[in-house]
Amino acid sequence: MTTLLTQHPPAGDTAPVNRRTGSGRARERRQRQSAFVYIAIVVCVALFGGPFLWILLTALAAREQLAEGAGGLLRFDNLQWGNFVEAVTRVELGAYFGNSLFLATLTAVLTTASSATVGFAFARIRARGSKPLFTIVLATMMIPHIATLIPTYMMFSRLSLVGTYWPWVLWGLSGSAYMIFLFRQFFAAIPLELEDAAIIDGCGWPRIFVQIFLPLSRPILLTSLLLQFTWAWGDYLTPALLLTQDNTTLSVAVTNAYLDPLGNGIPTLQAAGSILYILPALVIFLFFQRYFISSALSSGVKG
Amino acid sequence: MTTLAAPPARSRHWRRYPASTFYLFAAPWILGFLALTIIPLGWALVISLTNFDGMAPGYRFIGLKNYVELFTDYPQALRSLWQTVLYTAAVVPLSVAGGLGLAILVNRRIRAVGLIRAIFFLPSVVPVVATAIMWRLVLNPDAGMLNGILDLVGLPSSISWLIDPYAFYSLLMVSLWGLGGGMVIILAALQDVPGELNEAAVLDGANGWQTIRHVTIPMISPVLYFQVVTGVIGALQVLVQPMLLAQTSSIATAASVPPSTHLYMVQVYEKFFTNNRFGFGSAMLWVFFVVIMLITLALQRSSRRWVHYQASTNED
């Protein structure tokens, strides 16, 4: 399993042979190459990291500094930590934070539970129709999310479910095709002998699932919980469509709050608010990055 | 690394559970699929044949009128479809190539390589809303980082990045910022390429570029193919980024999205929620749905020519 933050990874060195040739010209070429590599890396770090730095500078700037142009943000004598306080108090950020937390947790727990159950069925039980059904599961990953979201919105508004959290419960209970696929892969690899022993001991299938398969699948359960949580936390369109101003999530609040009387965004507050909004996702990522990577791996190698 | 592992082969083991157990366990997905995918899609198909406006109960069946209007009398739809194709044709090759380039760059022993990889990967975990806000600050014409840098090196520096003709390039930039997600997957594939293959190529006199072209890329072609397919499907349905990058960023104002980033889904959104033409919007959705399916099929066809699967990793 690859981890991003390990200092000395077992990197497959791409040029092991060059190292053996010791002639002066080869060494010179190697030095030129590694200089190129370092320059490329510095440029890329600036490109990918720059926006993070900029949002931080904006969040700590006074509004007048913005008027001075880009250079105004680079004065560090006047850091406005109060922007964060204002970002929290100006709108009820805490309440939206709570909504997001509730919705993301709900989605993560329900989706994980149902995807594990369905994945178990596809991995361990053969029944007429199970193979074509699995093909359909995989095919649904290709259906554009948005193509079903708007008709679903029409449906939910008929059922008076718009403005409630029930749609998330329903989505969660039906599982996610992606996670079903991952769970199926994982369960298929568990040896049959474990089940055999349990069956001889007289275990029924629900107990086998709960007491043998689930405890073995802690890493993938955690992966699923983390991924579903971050997806729900980052989702914008679904809460924007299906929730009201009062019970919506942080992602919607951060875009629509912090407007001046003319309806223009106030950049310093938007920046501070966004940082507070990103932080939970970032912390989860930094602590559990190997789970994100491992799920990326299993999805990327699908034949 | 997981591949489509074949389910346990010894078939007698399968008989231990009755089929009803399978359906009981699979029920959540089956019911959800019927209620939350098939019914909405079917309903959208029915609505697309009516003049439903989202509210009035007395809508009526108008046949294929919406579809006819879409193809003959609605140039914006076709133009937005063209913009979407342009966007996809630009963003997918660039992000796959960029992901491959970055992966090759960080697949070596250098100082702090873990930290560098994390910096490249981080943007792809930042939620879309925060990405949009962040980039609006970077692209701000007056106090933005980009114009600041242009100013520093003495280039024209009062460019309004969020309106045409620059909006399209801004959208591309923002999309490419997240290519680290692909990098991680490609990096993992690179580390699975046996080192001997590269060594053999070097001994045969291949230079760095030739090794990449003739050894590395064919070896990781299934992963690159996966990147292309998911990239295309993702790029075709982009909606939130162009809307939040528009001058007045709010979901209610699809109309302020400049023409060059007025992609197809933005157009659909506008039809539904600004013009209240649910019937017409549904027709647009269904046309789009068919287009995506056709493109996916075409990609799958073409993959036979250039994607090489190792015999051992084939599916069951």
Give A279's contacts (C-beta < 8 A, 6+ positions apart): none
| Residue pLDDT, tens place only, B245-303 | 886 655 555 667 888 888 999 999 888 888 888 899 999 999 998 988 898 889 888 88
Q: What is the mean pLDDT of residues A9-37?
A: 62
Nearest-CA distance B269 → chain A (Å): 9
Q: Would you place residue A64 in the very low, low, confident or very high pLDDT band (cuts 50, 70, 90)? A: confident
pTM: predicted TM-score of the whole model, two decimal places? 0.85
Q: Look at B36 and A174 and tell me if their CB atoms are within 8 Å.
A: yes
Q: How many angstroms separate the CA atoms of A124 and A127, rounded?
A: 10
Look at A204 and B283; give whichever has higher pLDDT. B283
A2 close to B (CB below 8 A): yes
Q: Look at B130 and A254 and tell me if their CB atoms are within 8 Å.
A: yes
Give A52's contacts (C-beta < 8 A, 6+ positions apart): B122, B134
A37 close to B (CB below 8 A): yes
Q: How many angstroms separate the CA atoms of B15 and A125, rounded?
A: 8
B150 close to A (CB below 8 A): no
CA angle B288–B290–B294, rounded 5-degree value: 115
Look at A21 and A202; give whichever has higher pLDDT. A202
Q: How many angstroms separate the CA atoms of B15 and A13, rounded?
A: 49
Give B274's contacts (C-beta < 8 A, 6+ positions apart): B254, B255
Question: In 3D, which of A45, A44, A79, A48 has the Cα closest to residue A61?
Answer: A79
Interface test with A, best of B53, B84, B133 (most A CBs within 10 A): B133
Contact B255, B228 (CB under 8 A): no
Question: In 3D, which of A224, A258, A244, A221 has the Cα closest to residue A99?
Answer: A244
- Distance between first and last Cα of chain B: 16
B59 close to A (CB below 8 A): no
Q: Inform me whether the pLDDT recorded for B312 exceeds 80.
A: no
Q: Residue B14: which of A65, A126, A209 has the nearest Cβ?
A: A126
Taking only residues 242 to 281 of chain B, the set having a beta carbon closer than 8 angstroms to any beta carbon of chain A reads 244, 248-251, 265, 268, 272, 278, 281
Q: What is the mean pLDDT of residues A253-262?
A: 81
Q: Inform me whether the pLDDT recorded for A7 exceeds 60.
A: no
CA dist B269 to A58, A147, B42, B188, Å? 32, 11, 19, 38
Question: B233, exposed or middle or buried, with CB in 10 Å at 0-12, 13-18, 19+?
Answer: buried
| Residue pLDDT, tens place only, B3-17 | 454 454 444 444 566
Q: Which amino acid is it at B246?
A: A
What's residue B316's pLDDT? 37
Question: B179, exposed or middle or buried, with CB in 10 Å at 0-12, 13-18, 19+?
Answer: buried
Q: Which amino acid is it at B133?
A: I
Give B175's contacts (C-beta < 8 A, 6+ positions apart): B91, B95, B235, B238, B241
Q: How many angstroms separate the CA atoms of A290 and A40, rounded?
A: 26
* Nearest residue in chain A measured CA to CA from B116: A45
Q: Look at B116 and A68 and tell me if their CB atoms are within 8 Å.
A: no
- Max Cα-Cα span within chain A: 78
Q: What is the mean pLDDT of residues A126-141?
A: 87
Contact B284, B268 (CB under 8 A): yes
Q: Where does A175-235 have alpha helices with state H?
A: 177-188, 192-200, 205-208, 214-216, 218-234
Query: Which residues of chain B neighbour A182 with C-beta distances below 8 Å?
Result: 2
Query: Which residues of chain B neighbour A146 with C-beta distances below 8 Å?
Result: 237, 239, 265, 268
Q: Could you give the ipTM of this predicted complex?
A: 0.83
CA dist B50 to A210, A240, A243, B275, Å? 49, 26, 27, 15
Contact A228, A111 (CB under 8 A): yes
What's residue B11's pLDDT? 45
Give A267's contacts (C-beta < 8 A, 6+ positions apart): A58, A66, B136, B137, B140, B143
Query: Which residues of chain A neighbour B238 with C-beta distances below 8 Å?
Result: none
What's residue B142's pLDDT? 80
Look at A101 and B204; give whichever has higher pLDDT. A101
Question: In 3D, which of A132, A164, A128 has the Cα closest to residue A242?
Answer: A164
Nearest-CA distance A185 → chain B (Å): 6
DSSP assignment letter at A235: -
Q: How many angstroms separate the CA atoms of A4 and A143, rounded?
A: 31
Q: Residue B22: which of A127, A140, A300 has the nearest Cβ?
A: A127
CA angle B84–B90–B94, rounded 5-degree value: 140
- Number of CB atoms found within 10 A of residue A225's CB: 21
% residues pLDDT > 70 (chain A): 89
Q: What is the mean pLDDT of residues A113-123?
A: 93
Nearest-CA distance A47 → chain B (Å): 8
What's residue B249's pLDDT? 52
Nearest-CA distance B236 → chain A (Å): 9
Q: How many angstroms separate the CA atoms of A123 and A111, rounded?
A: 18
- Distance between first and last Cα of chain A: 20
B167 close to A (CB below 8 A): no
Question: In 3D, which of A239, A276, A279 has the Cα closest to residue A90?
Answer: A276
B161 close to A (CB below 8 A): no
* Nearest residue in chain A measured CA to CA from B8: A188
What's residue A246's pLDDT? 84
Q: What is the mean pLDDT of residues B23-31?
A: 92
Q: What is the mean pLDDT of residues A55-64?
A: 86
- Max Cα-Cα span within chain B: 76
Q: Residue B249: which of A5, A47, A255 has the nearest Cβ?
A: A255
DSSP for A93-122, please give it: HHHHHHHHHHHHHHHHHHHHHHHHHHHHHH
Q: How many angstroms separate the CA atoms of A277 and A99, rounded?
A: 12
| Residue pLDDT, tens place only, B120-134 | 988 988 999 999 989
Distance of CA A222 to the CA centre of its chain: 13
- Number of CB atoms found within 10 A of residue B241's CB: 22
A175 conformational bin, left if phi > 0, alpha if psi -120 to 50, beta if neither: left
Kindly report the backbone phi and psi dihedral angles of residue B61, in degrees, each rounded to the nearest multiple of 5, phi listed first. -70, 125
A233 close to B (CB below 8 A): yes
B36 close to A (CB below 8 A): yes
Nearest-CA distance A12 → chain B (Å): 6
| Residue pLDDT, tens place only, B155-206 | 877 788 888 888 899 999 999 999 988 898 888 888 888 888 878 888 887 7
Nearest-CA distance B93 → chain A (Å): 17
Residue with tokens 């055999």, as numbered in its chain: A196
| SS3 assignment, position B158 | coil
Q: Would you place residue A11 in the very low, low, confident or very high pLDDT band (cuts 50, 70, 90)? A: very low
Query: Which residues of chain B neighbour A180 with C-beta distances below 8 Å?
Result: 29
Q: Look at A296 and B181 and tell me if their CB atoms are within 8 Å.
A: yes
Q: Inform me whether the pLDDT recorded for A39 exceeds 60.
A: yes
Give B22's contacts (C-beta < 8 A, 6+ positions apart): A121, A125, A126, A127, A130
Q: Residue B289: which of A7, A144, A271 has the nearest Cβ?
A: A144
A303 close to B (CB below 8 A): yes
B184 close to A (CB below 8 A): yes
A6 close to B (CB below 8 A): yes
| Residue pLDDT, tens place only, A139-190 | 888 787 888 898 899 889 889 999 999 999 999 999 999 899 889 988 888 8
| SS3 assignment, position B89 | helix
Query: Which residues of chain A neighbour B30 with C-beta distances below 8 Å?
Result: 133
What's residue A211's pLDDT? 85
Taking only residues 86 to 115 of chain B, the set having a beta carbon closer than 8 angstroms to any beta carbon of chain A reads 102, 104-110, 112-115
Q: Inform me whether the pLDDT recorded for A212 exceeds 90.
A: no
Q: Look at B237 and A146 and tell me if their CB atoms are within 8 Å.
A: yes
Q: Look at B145 and A70 and tell me if their CB atoms are within 8 Å.
A: yes
* Nearest residue in chain A measured CA to CA from B44: A151
DSSP for A33-69, please give it: HHHHHHHHHHHHHHHHHHHHHHHHHHHTS-HHHHHT-
Q: Look at A300 and B292 and tell me if their CB atoms are within 8 Å.
A: no
| Residue pLDDT, tens place only, B42-89 | 999 999 998 888 777 777 888 888 999 988 888 888 899 999 999 999
